[in-house]
């Protein structure tokens, strides 16, 4: 039998940063994994990368992306190929995408549909969350199969979007009990759908149709109330819980209260909620359509909420910074030109997350280097059952490695990004720090601003059962 040629690589003299460590050493990679880490390693490799003066991080993990997602007869504009490739350019080597069950159909059908789009196309590694939009006896019977056979251990729920995605509280309790039994985790879009529907209808009746009213239809209380309710249900069922894309002080305080009864609820925020605020919805006046670029749910909030979220990261209440990457071309956004409720929700960030968080977080003294790795890489791997294969630099871990120049300045722009979307949420932003070289399972996939792998290079990552503790 012919032996496959495996190239070994030595990364020399980099400053290695994990969630807990910070030291200068060499990393020896052979095959798909890290084989040794040490000072002046006396091992010859097929090739050597000099990382002197550079930071060396574990590959980033973005556990909240929507690639090739069907929406109102169209699809989010990044496919699994273009989205994961853009992620690699930005130092994110693994993403978790969402499979959406259709109400009245099985989880299995939905998974088959998503596999048909992702298999053989992704350039970077990926996994799936399963969104349960119709919990009944048939769905209940499928949970075990998802966990045991498919390696899908996280189940997404929506407390909003009635008639399409939302489940009610009785379904939520039933799902939590089953997921707890099978060793999984329930994640949630925590906003009060009924209150939002009421406000959307009111604004439309009054002829208030610009993107600003998307924001005004989802006030802070809608998120705070649902976050508290979800935490209560997770406590009652003892099911591990995770709130996606948290944006505001009221919602974080609901989780803070839950911790007072010794409950743990994981919290994810997204890079845009740390950096952008609601003034963008009316930067050009209350009728301005530019704000459609930031029409997402929940919407951007206020400056005080950004402060709360940064503090929450340092307080250990916010564990993950993701993106909720869900790009739409400007022509798609224009579907809602005359009615904010028809604007496809979502914003592109999969490529920018690691560099923006470094520049604005570490560079501006808001978080430490170790905290950066923790919230951008490690915690997502732990919470979602991929650690220590992913999320750290250790002997035996996948050689997913980012070599990063902390001093190089560059400007973000739709002209230079690799996401398949014709605008940037961060056009003209100056960032300090740049991804130089990226390894995925031992292969150099990004170097000198070039992607060196084709579509299909990415692997589906089966995940382990989880405990709700990290």
Q: Residue 199 burial by CB count (10 A; 0-12/13-18/19+): exposed, middle or buried?
A: middle
CA pair distance 377, 371, nearest whole angstrom:
10
Give just the sign of the alpha carbon dihedral 212, 217, 221, 224.
Answer: negative
Task: Report, in Å, the least distance between residue 190 CB and Zn ion.
Answer: 12
Q: How far is the CB of 243 from Zn ion (least distance, A)?
A: 12
* Paired strand residues for 256: none
Residue number with CB closer to Zn ion (27 or 326): 326
Distance CA 272, CA 8 (A): 38
- Minimum CB separation of residue 168 from Zn ion in Å reads 20
Site membership for Zn ion, residue 62 (CB under 5 A) = no
Residue 30 binds to Zn ion (criterion: CB under 5 A): no
Site for Zn ion in 270-309 (CB under 5 A): none
Tell me if 437 sits within 8 A of 125, measured CB to CB: no
- Which pairing describes strands 154-158 and 125-131: parallel, antiparallel, or unpaired? parallel
Query: Segment 324-363, which members bind Zn ion (CB under 5 A)?
Result: 324
| Residue 64 Cβ vs Zn ion, minimum distance, rounded to whole Å | 6
**Least distance in angstroms from the C-beta of 246 to Zn ion:** 12
Nearer Cβ to Zn ion (25/165): 165
Report residue 75 as tokens.
């699809």
H or E stretch at 269: strand 265-270
- Binding status of residue 97 toward Zn ion by CB under 5 A: no
Work out whether 125 is an interface residue with Zn ion (CB under 5 A).
no
Give the pair of three-digit tokens for residue 466: 């989880």
Question: Nearest to Zn ion by Cβ — which residue?
Answer: 324
Q: Given the complex with Zn ion, which of 57 and 266 has the nearer CB atom?
A: 266
223 binds Zn ion (CB under 5 A): no
Structure token pair of residue 164: 């399409």
CB of 332 to Zn ion, least distance (A): 16
Helix 169-182, helix 220-237: angle, nearest 10: 50
Closer to Zn ion at the Cβ: 150 or 324?
324
Q: How many residues bind Zn ion (CB under 5 A)?
A: 1
**Which residues between 310 and 329 bind Zn ion (CB under 5 A)?**
324
Nearest CB to Zn ion, comparing residues 84 and 210: 84
CB of residue 448 to Zn ion, shortest distance in Å: 33
Beta strand 443-447 with 450-451 is antiparallel
Site of interaction with Zn ion (CB under 5 A): 324
């Amino acid at each position: 039998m012919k032996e496959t040629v495996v190239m070994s690589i030595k990364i020399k003299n980099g400053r290695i940063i994990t969630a807990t460590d910070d030291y200068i050493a060499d990393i020896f990679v052979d095959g798909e994994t890290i084989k040794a880490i040490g000072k002046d390693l006396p091992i010859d490799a097929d090739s050597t990368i000099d990382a002197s003066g550079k930071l060396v991080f574990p590959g980033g993990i973005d556990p909240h992306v929507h690639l090739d997602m069907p929406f109102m007869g169209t699809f989010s504009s990044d496919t699994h190929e273009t989205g994961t490739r853009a992620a690699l350019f930005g130092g994110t080597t693994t993403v978790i995408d969402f499979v959406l069950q259709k109400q009245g159909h099985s989880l299995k059908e939905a998974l088959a549909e998503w596999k048909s789009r992702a298999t053989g196309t992704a350039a970077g590694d990926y996994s799936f969350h399963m969104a349960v939009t119709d919990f009944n006896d048939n769905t209940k019977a499928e949970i075990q199969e998802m966990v045991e056979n498919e390696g899908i251990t996280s189940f997404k729920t929506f407390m909003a979007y009635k008639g399409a995605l939302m489940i009610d509280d009785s379904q939520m309790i039933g799902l939590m009990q089953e997921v707890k039994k099978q060793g999984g985790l329930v994640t949630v879009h925590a906003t009060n759908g009924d209150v939002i529907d009421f406000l959307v209808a009111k604004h439309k009746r009054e002829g208030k149709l610009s993107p600003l009213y998307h924001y005004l239809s989802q006030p802070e209380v809608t998120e705070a109330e649902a976050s508290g309710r979800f935490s209560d249900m997770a406590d009652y069922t003892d099911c591990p819980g995770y709130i996606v894309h948290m944006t505001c002080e009221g919602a974080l305080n609901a989780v803070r209260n839950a911790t007072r009864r010794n409950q743990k609820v994981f919290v994810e925020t997204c890079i845009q909620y740390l950096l952008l605020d609601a003034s963008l919805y009316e930067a050009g006046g209350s009728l301005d359509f530019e704000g459609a670029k930031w029409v997402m749910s929940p919407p951007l909030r206020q400056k005080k909420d950004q402060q709360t979220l940064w503090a929450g990261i340092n307080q250990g209440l916010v564990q993950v910074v993701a993106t909720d990457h869900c790009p739409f071309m400007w022509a798609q956004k224009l579907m809602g030109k005359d009615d904010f409720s028809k604007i496809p929700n979502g914003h592109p960030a999969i490529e920018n997350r690691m560099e923006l968080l470094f520049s604005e977080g570490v560079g501006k003294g808001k978080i430490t280097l170790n905290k950066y790795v923790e919230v951008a890489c490690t915690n997502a791997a732990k919470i979602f059952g991929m650690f220590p294969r992913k999320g750290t630099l250790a002997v035996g871990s996948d050689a997913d490695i980012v070599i990063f120049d902390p001093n190089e300045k560059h400007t973000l722009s739709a002209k230079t990004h690799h996401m398949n979307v014709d605008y940037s949420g961060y056009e003209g932003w100056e960032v300090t720090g740049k991804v130089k070289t990226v390894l995925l399972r031992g292969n150099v996939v990004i170097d000198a601003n070039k992607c060196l792998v084709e579509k299909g290079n990415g692997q589906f990552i089966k995940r382990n059962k989880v405990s709700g503790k990290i």
